[in-house]
Amino acid sequence: MELHLNRVDYMQVGVTSQKTMRLLPALGKKATQKVAIADNDGVLTCFGMKKGEPVPVFKTLPGPKVSRLDLGGVLGTPQEKVFVCSGSEVRGFTKKGKQFLTFEANLTESITAMRVCGADLFVCASYVYNHYCDCKDQDYFLSGDKINDIACVTSAHLERPAPVLACQDRLLRVLQGSELRYDVAVPGPPSVLELYNKDGGKLTPHPLQTLPNRRTTGEDVLYGTADGKVGLLKIGESAALSQWVIDNHQKKGGVLCIDTYDIIGDGVSDLLIGRDDGSMEVYGFDSAGEPALRFEHVLSESVTSVQGGCVGKESYDEVITATYTGWVTGLTTEAQKAEAGPGDELSMSKETQTKVAALRLELDQLQSRVLQGRERYQQTSRSGTAVSAVPVFSVNDKFTLCQDDASYSLTLEVHTAIDNLLLQSDVPIDLLDVDKNSAVVSFSECDSEPNGNFLLATYRCQANTTRLELKVRSIEGQYGTLQAYVTPRLQPKTCQLRQYPIKPLSLHQRTHSLQHDRPMNRLSLVGLFSLAEIHSWVGFCLPEVPEKTPAGETLTLYFLNTFLGTQLEATYSKGEGHFRSDNISTISILSDVLSKEATQRKINLNISYDINDESVSHTLRMIHPKLQYQLLLAKKVQLIDALKELQVHEGTADFLIPEYRSILDESQHLLDEYKKQPAHLERLYGMITDLYIDKFKFKGQNVKTKVSSLLEILDNYDLNSLLAFFSEA
């Protein structure tokens, strides 16, 4: 089944946040739907399309930034009331634009996620969840980490509606009233939740109803993660069942919005997924009920909202997307007609011509107003007392650890074209090339003394670049800050500083399960410190630690080293902290950083170690397959060119031994694999060297002089000789 969708731009509003656009239900049969969209200027716009022109239904006055938009209404009637939240306030509008509700939730923080369900209102503000019924407070829950989104599952299997919270610590928390019913670990920090088929799959007439895993009950929840994965969970009374997960092998962007809509027209609801790298995907389901990619379109900026429906023209289904800079775009099933016949000089339709003319007129007027403004601004420069303060422009940025190649990806998005970007770092890091990034990079000479610069790089962007993506590789143990100065192409020119901490254990990520049979080293701290203090130290050392100290006397967090697969367990309470890891280097880094932090705050720490010598050889054995694979790969890649030459020279490859022939056959794959992980081998060598130094550091020996002989052994790698080298001396 091939799907062809054509792109149509409808309208542009201000910068939009995640999930701030919805389609109002259609009135009659086959009629087009209206679009409700709210932006960061606080304007809620509702418009419909008439003859290719957007016709506004209503538009509210500017106000504080709108963070979410949802539709609601009395259960059983069309859900056509529009709810928006800005700050800690929720407002409701009828489809005509009449405001009928203003509700102040009295939260200290701004609302980040909202869901409306009949008379029930669910709102979340960073760590807090609140449930109101008819604007009366019902339930309250304090989550262990930031809440990114909320869904509300109602089903016959459940006694009461079960709210599901998507939390930053890779957990979905299923609530019952004010209590946690249970939590489910998902493969990445969930960023969006959506019910399958909007009501949890309840009314879907699935063609595969005979299959055991048919989706006929209303408890299916779709989630999307910040690292680009999508999955389906069946929420049960006491546990959730994972149905499937779409992995993110192609390293696409994080998921920002999900919708289900039958765009293919086969009777099964398809998945519509919008990502922060601008791609919009349609997944259909194959006969086994597994999702399969059917269509992909790449817009140039983050897709903040997506919904299936019909807006542009009657009886043509389409996917409506809203992007970061506020473009509402349709991907329609309507074929784009060939406009002009051969020999016809007019290449534009009348409609477009009037549209363009109107736009040009508006531009001219704006231009003169801008000129006036510019002049006035220039005049102020002559006054001695006037000041110049340009309002802060919004930058949509993300700095995340990619699990696959253990590197950080930094994405920056601005609502207008970026002129240049300056990157500065006070720790040694590597900047990697990203194919998608077309900006011209230039590295400047660095002066580590006295200005502490280890990286100074400028990116000069091509015209119309609103989004930049780059990759950064850090080294564990070396920590500091990466700073980015973004300058957009906007007069008067300003630039904004963004800072990203590179943590000492930067390659670790949170996990919720550990293998307990590994040999572990332990680091224990005892001293006069509060829980909040040690929590902040842990947060200083490791990524993905909640800013706020979670409730409870003792906290336990698990981490996984994304590069080596070693693990770390942190358990701490007031006056006491224990860290257990099978990687001795992790313990060494932690002890260095923690003692430094404590000295800075003049807190007396009692540090004790429990080093398990077994752990070193265990770690080496864990590295072994990776190292062996990389060495073999490097060897094979080295041979490819020579073998190809032989093949050309002899005209055939039949005379080669099978091993070489297979290298020739797989050459493309090998090269791809090799390209994907630049400097992988060097990183592994570096970590083995650290391991060696750290092992003997705990014994009080300095073995830095022996590192060269270690590297010699690595050059002629053999696990046993390496193990022997580690155990001697």
Partner 1 sequence: MLVPIFTLKLNHKINPRMVTVGKFDGVHPCLTAATQAGKVFIHNPHARGQRPAAHRLSQSAQDSDISLLNINQAVSCLTAGPLGPNTAGDTLLVGSQTNLLAYDVHDNADIFYREVTDGANAIVLGKLGDIQSPLAIIGGNCAIQGFDYEGKDQFWTVTGDNVRSLVLCDFTGDGKNELLVGSEDFDIRVFKEDELVSEMAENETVTSLCHMHGSRFGYALANGTVGVYDRTARYWRIKSKNHAMSIHAFDLNGDGVVELITGWSNGKIDARSDRTGEVIFKDNFASSVAGVVEGDYRMDGQVQLICTSTDGEVRGYLPASKELKGNLMESSVEQDLVRELSQRRQNLLLELRNYEENAKVVVGVSETDSEVGVIPANTQLQTALSVRSATEAQKAHVELSISTPNETIIRSVLIFAEGIFEGESHVVHPSAQNLSGCVRVPIVPPKDIPVDLHIKAFIGGKTSTQFHVFEITRQLPRFSMYVMAVDPLVAPPTGRVTFSINDRPQRVVMWLNQNFLLPEGTNSPDVTFTSLRGGGLLSISMASSGQITLSTDDIDLAGDLIQSLASFLAIEDLSAEVDFPDYFKELRTTLTEVDEFHSVHQKLTAAIADHSNYIRNMLVQAEDARLMGDMITMKKRYRELYDLNRDLVTEYKIRSNNHNALLARLKSVNQAIQRAGRLRVGKPKNQVISACRDAIKSNNVNTLFKIMKAGAAAS
178 versus 349: smaller Cβ distance to partner 1: 349
- The residue assigned the tokens 């109803």 is 209
3-state secondary structure of 538: helix
Distances (CA, A) of 704 to 686, 695, 709, 723, 727: 13, 12, 10, 18, 16
Tokens of 407: 């590197």
> What is the smallest separation between the CB atom of 651 and partner 1, expressed in angstroms?
3
Here's the x/- map for partner 1, 469-488, by CB under 8 A: it reads as ----------------x-x-
Helical segments of 531-679, H only: 531-541, 584-600, 613-650, 658-665, 667-676
Contact 43, 61 (CB under 8 A): yes
Q: How many residues bind partner 1 (CB under 8 A)?
A: 90
* Contacting residue, 209, 354, 380, 604, with partner 1 by CB under 8 A: 380
Q: Which is nearer to partner 1, 452 or 625 (CB)?
A: 452
539 CB neighbour count, 10 Å cutoff = 18
Tokens of 11: 């309208």
The only residue of 249, 376, 516, 602 in contact with partner 1, by rule CB under 8 A? 376
Closest distance of CB 361 from partner 1, Å:
11
Q: Is 496 in the site for partner 1 (CB under 8 A)?
A: yes
Stretch that binds partner 1, among 101-109, 355-363, 559-567, 702-710 (CB under 8 A): 355-363
Cβ distance to partner 1 smaller for residue 651 or 658: 651
Pick from 135, 239, 359, 632: which binds partner 1 (CB under 8 A)?
Answer: 359
**Displacement of CA 293 from its chain's centroid (Å):** 20
Do residues 159 and 184 lie in contact, with contact meaning Cβ atoms separated by under 8 Å?
A: no
By CB under 8 A, is residue 638 in contact with partner 1? no
Near partner 1 by CB under 8 A: residue from 313, 355, 436, 548: 355
Rounded least distance, CB 491 to partner 1, Å = 5
Nearest-approach distance from CB 705 to partner 1, in angstroms: 33
How far apart, in whole angstroms, are the C-alpha atoms of residue 229 and residue 108? Answer: 32
- Non-local CB neighbours of 233 within 8 Å, separated by 6+ positions: 172, 184, 186, 220, 221, 222, 223, 240, 241, 242, 243
Stretch binding partner 1 (CB under 8 A), from 26-34, 116-124, 421-429, 533-541: 421-429
Interacting positions 385-414 with partner 1 (CB under 8 A): 385-393
Nearer of residues 470 and 538 to partner 1, judged by Cβ: 470
Alpha carbon of residue 586 to chain centroid: 26
Contact with partner 1 (CB under 8 A): which of 547, 645, 682, 712? 645
Near partner 1 in 650-689, by CB under 8 A: 650-652
3-state secondary structure of 581: strand
User: For partner 1, which stretch binds (CB under 8 A), given 77-85, 187-195, 304-312, 374-382?
Assistant: 374-382
Pick out residues in 5-44 that bind partner 1 (CB under 8 A).
7-9, 12
Establish if 547 lies at the interface with partner 1 (CB under 8 A): no
Q: Which of residues 287-326 bind partner 1 (CB under 8 A)?
A: 325
**Toward partner 1, which CB reaches closer, 369 or 601?**
369
Spatial CA neighbour of 92 closest among 44, 20, 34: 44
The answer to whether 102 contacts partner 1 (rule: CB under 8 A) is no
Q: Which of residues 189-218 bind partner 1 (CB under 8 A)?
A: none
**Amino acid making up residue 594:** L
Per-residue binding string, partner 1, 332-351, x by CB under 8 A, is: ----x--xx-xx---xxx--
Nearest approach, Cβ of residue 277 and partner 1 (Å): 18
Please, what is the minimum distance in Å from the beta carbon of residue 264 to partner 1?
A: 22
Question: Do residues 564 and 583 lie in contact, with contact meaning Cβ atoms separated by under 8 Å?
Answer: yes
CA-CA distance, 201 to 180, in Å (whole number)?
24
Q: Measured between alpha carbons, how far is 112 from 209 in angstroms, rounded to an integer?
A: 37
Tell whether residue 489 is a contact of partner 1 (CB under 8 A): yes
Which of 77, 209, 367, 554 contacts partner 1 by CB under 8 A?
A: 367
Cβ 393 to partner 1 shortest distance, Å: 8
Nearer to partner 1 by C-beta: 179 or 433? 433
Given the complex with partner 1, which of 23 and 421 has the nearer CB atom?
421
Which residue lies nearer to partner 1 by CB, 348 or 729? 348
Contact 230, 275 (CB under 8 A): no
DSSP result, 393-411: PPEEEEEEEETTTTEEEEE
- Spatial strand order of the sheet with 120-125 comes to 113-117, 120-125, 128-133, 136-142
- Kindly write out the interface string for residues 441-460 of this chain, putting x where it contacts partner 1 by CB under 8 A and - elsewhere: xxxxx----xxxx--xxx-x
**End-to-end CA distance of the chain, in Å?**
66
Q: How far is the CB of 395 from partner 1 (least distance, A)?
A: 10
Q: Is the peptide bond before 450 cis (omega within 30 degrees of 0)?
A: yes
